[in-house]
Chain A
Amino acid sequence: MNIVVVGLSHKTASVEIREKVAFAPNQMEKPLKELAGLPDINEGVIVSTCNRVEIYATTHDIAGGMARLKRFLADFHNVSLDVLEPHLYNYHGEGAIRHLFRVASSLDSMVVGEPQILGQIKTAYGYAAEYKASGIILNRFLHKAFSVAKRVRTETKIASSAVSVSFAAVELAKKIFGDLTDKTVMLIGAGEMCELAAKHFLNNGVRGVMVANRTYERAVRLAEEFDGRAVTFEDLFDHLHKADIILSSTGATHFIIGAKDVEEVIRRRRQKPMFFIDIAVPRDIDPKVNNVENVYLYDMDDLQGVVASNLQQRAEEAKKAEGIIDQEIGRFFNWLSLLEVTPTIVALRSRFEEVRQAELAKTLAAWKDLPPDGQKRLEALTSAITNKLLHPPTSLLKRTGQGGRTDLYVDALRQLFELEAEEPQEEDFEELEE
């Protein structure tokens, strides 16, 4: 039994392609049932987020199974496979395991370390379990991925630092203000950067937005977008004291806010801290503003410095995370190969037991005057013989692990002892683990 994955992500496909094959989160029953019903496919889980669409499955036939999955993905969304093919990646065995572990640990995310992906995979698994598309192998696989992600999160600092400028600005604001929910942001000027940062602040719970712009109409339009209020540029300093966080990006060629202005504003605010973010080039805010007590000023260079140091830290942490993943792959692989040999071991044992019981019954039937004590001894003797004989092949099978000889041994044993081929059962495995 092999684990395979077929999918595409932000690394291989543009958003136009990704949205074509995305699965709607509340309509997972149909695709999952179809997936589980595919020939060659035993179990399946579909992970679909805005950055990736991936199908994890188990199959006996790696190449055939992966082809099935690709065809399924294309057909289900009525997309030509020719269009899809160049964007698809596929992994099997160890590669597939590593892939899911990396995805769940947010090492494969657009923003490495972002926390949402784990929740998304948990939801995806929830659907697969609900519609019985996943089984013993994928259940264990996904649970393992969750625990690996958790290990990575607690043992490395991958999730603790931010990599985009607006993310960095929000993190800084949190270190100054703690909770952002009752804070007000003021946007001075406009621009994509500025709006993006403002959105990020709003997503983090900021309460009010004020917009000041040289063109008042533009301020009004932007204010409407953020459900905030517009301020004329002339009245800027009458309103500045109401803002906790100021995002500035005007096209001005000189400083529009000086240290003297801010000193006055901060007094008016009774020293409540202020955070100025100057993303204009050339700058809008006099750098001396940073020297005013309880005022913090970061310009574009400062923010990029923060991002750069975060990135560097993150690269180091990512290395650590890969190490953890390597370890966990080893452990999971052992389990998987154990799972592969389990039915054979169980079948072999029951075959021996069958023979023993049959022969024992015959002997006991013929030997009528054997005292109960003798019966017990006979019982013990025969079971000691079978156990002694079974021990070497059983432990050899368990030891073989991921080596390529497992199949050989399994086949040989099945033919030599006329064992029936069986799918692994959960109970078998539990029995073996004891």
Chain B
Amino acid sequence: MNALLFYSTLCIYFVATVMYMTYLLKPRELLGRAAHWTVAGGFLIHCAFTIARYLEAGHTPITNLHESLSFFSLTVVGVFIAFERKYHVFILGSFVTPLALILMLASSLYSSAIPQLPPALMSKWLFVHTTLAFLSYATFAVAFGAAIMYLIQERFLKKKQLGPLYQKLPSLVILDEINYRCLTFGFPLLTIAIITGAIWAETAWGTYWSWDPKETWSLITWFIYAALLHGRLTTGWRGKRAALLSIIGFFVMLFTFLGVNLLPSASLHSYDRLLGEKYR
């Protein structure tokens, strides 16, 4: 049942991605709308999968790479749908749905066995902390898509090469605003995620902050987005500079999310270690 839901989601995201890619070539209003509803349908099934998984496991399905990648994809799609509805720029989907699809494909490569979670980690904080963290990741992912679009469009306007893609991309101001909106949602979410993480760490491991690699990198990500927000609010960092910084921020964030697992010094947050002997 879960597998069926998972693979249906994967297939629908694939179809939606193909539709959004076609939209890039032939921007018909109808196609955009169809793609939007397709991805929205996929999102609902994805929600159903996540809930089913939650019920089966008894905890938020975010404890191994299979679950986490899928959950990340879910939040990216959810945040993307919200932004698309607000700004009516279907073409954003051409840049964001491929990411959601890649995440799902990556997720499908990992074992879907349900890990047994140590009792100390079984708390409401698991849900609160991880959901907040993933929501912030997702808004930064949408900001990343908008930033890429901004850089492309800005280059067209500066170089005065106004090809077909130029016609299809929205205005610079809209792209910049999406980027800014993502930041104003994502940054507070990340902040609260870090704080709740610290509280959880205190209850689970007895210390608020242990300079675990994941914690350190989260802090680095936080500083990057803090700098961007500060620059925006004070000296008017916008446009290209903001776009570049949110692209850097996104990659650092990805490293926080995935790369930390690859570090030689194992992290408490590391997915394969999460359940292992390292846990105290």
Residues of A in contact with B (beta carbons under 8 Å apart): 154, 157, 160-161, 172, 174-179, 269-273, 290, 293-294, 296, 298, 302, 305-306, 309
Listed from nearest, the 7 A-B pairs whose CB atoms lie closest are A270-B236, A178-B171, A271-B236, A178-B173, A294-B239, A178-B174, A175-B171
State whether the Cβ of B157 lies closer than 8 Å to any Cβ in chain A: yes
* A residues less than 8 Å from B236 (CB atoms): 269-272
Given A160-B167, A178-B173, verify A273-B239 contact (CB < 8 Å).
yes
- Residue in chain B with minimal CB distance to A299: B160
* B residues less than 8 Å from A175 (CB atoms): 153, 157, 166, 169, 171-172
B167-A161 in contact (CB<8A) = yes
* B residues less than 8 Å from A177 (CB atoms): 171-173
Within the complex, what minimum Cβ distance (angstroms) separates A193 from chain B? 19
- Residue in chain B with minimal CB distance to A168: B162
14 contacts between A and B (CB under 8 A): A154-B28, A172-B157, A174-B171, A175-B153, A175-B171, A175-B172, A270-B236, A271-B238, A271-B239, A272-B236, A272-B238, A273-B172, A294-B238, A294-B239
* B residues less than 8 Å from A306 (CB atoms): 160, 162
State whether the Cβ of B33 lies closer than 8 Å to any Cβ in chain A: no
Given A290-B158, A306-B160, verify A178-B170 contact (CB < 8 Å).
yes
* B residues less than 8 Å from A179 (CB atoms): 173
* B residues less than 8 Å from A302 (CB atoms): 160
CA distance A309 to B169 in the complex (A): 18
Size of chain B's interface in residues, with CB distance under 8 A? Answer: 22
State whether the Cβ of B235 lies closer than 8 Å to any Cβ in chain A: yes
Within the complex, what minimum Cβ distance (angstroms) separates B237 from chain A? 7
* B residues less than 8 Å from A290 (CB atoms): 158
Looking at A172, A179, A271, A305, which has the most chain B CB atoms within 10 Å of its CB?
Answer: A271
Task: For A273, give its contact among B160, B162, B173, B241 (CB under 8 Å).
Answer: B173
* A residues less than 8 Å from B171 (CB atoms): 174-178
CA distance A87 to B160 in the complex (A): 42
CA distance A232 to B169 in the complex (A): 39
State whether the Cβ of B240 lies closer than 8 Å to any Cβ in chain A: yes
- Residue in chain A with minimal CB distance to B236: A270
Looking at B166, B235, B236, B241, which has the most chain A CB atoms within 10 Å of its CB?
Answer: B236
Within the complex, what minimum Cβ distance (angstroms) separates A399 from chain B? 35
Looking at A179, A293, A298, which has the most chain B CB atoms within 10 Å of its CB?
Answer: A293
* B residues less than 8 Å from A178 (CB atoms): 170-174
CA distance A250 to B133 in the complex (A): 56
Within the complex, what minimum Cβ distance (angstroms) separates B267 from chain A? 39
A294-B160 in contact (CB<8A) = no
Within the complex, what minimum Cβ distance (angstroms) separates B62 from chain A? 38
* A residues less than 8 Å from B167 (CB atoms): 157, 160-161
* A residues less than 8 Å from B241 (CB atoms): 293
Within the complex, what minimum Cβ distance (angstroms) separates B190 from chain A? 25
- Residue in chain A with minimal CB distance to B169: A175
* B residues less than 8 Å from A309 (CB atoms): 162
Looking at A161, A178, A269, A305, which has the most chain B CB atoms within 10 Å of its CB?
Answer: A178
Residues of chain B in range 134-180 having any CB-CB distance to chain A below 8 Å: 153, 157-158, 160, 162, 166-167, 169-174
CA distance A176 to B169 in the complex (A): 11
CA distance A157 to B170 in the complex (A): 16
Within the complex, what minimum Cβ distance (angstroms) separates B18 from chain A? 21
CA distance A298 to B236 in the complex (A): 24
A294-B240 in contact (CB<8A) = yes
Within the complex, what minimum Cβ distance (angstroms) separates B170 from chain A? 7
Within the complex, what minimum Cβ distance (angstroms) separates B80 from chain A? 20
CA distance A160 to B166 in the complex (A): 12
- Residue in chain A with minimal CB distance to B240: A293
CA distance A154 to B29 in the complex (A): 9
CA distance A16 to B49 in the complex (A): 71
- Residue in chain B with minimal CB distance to A305: B160
- Residue in chain B with minimal CB distance to A176: B172
CA distance A8 to B239 in the complex (A): 50
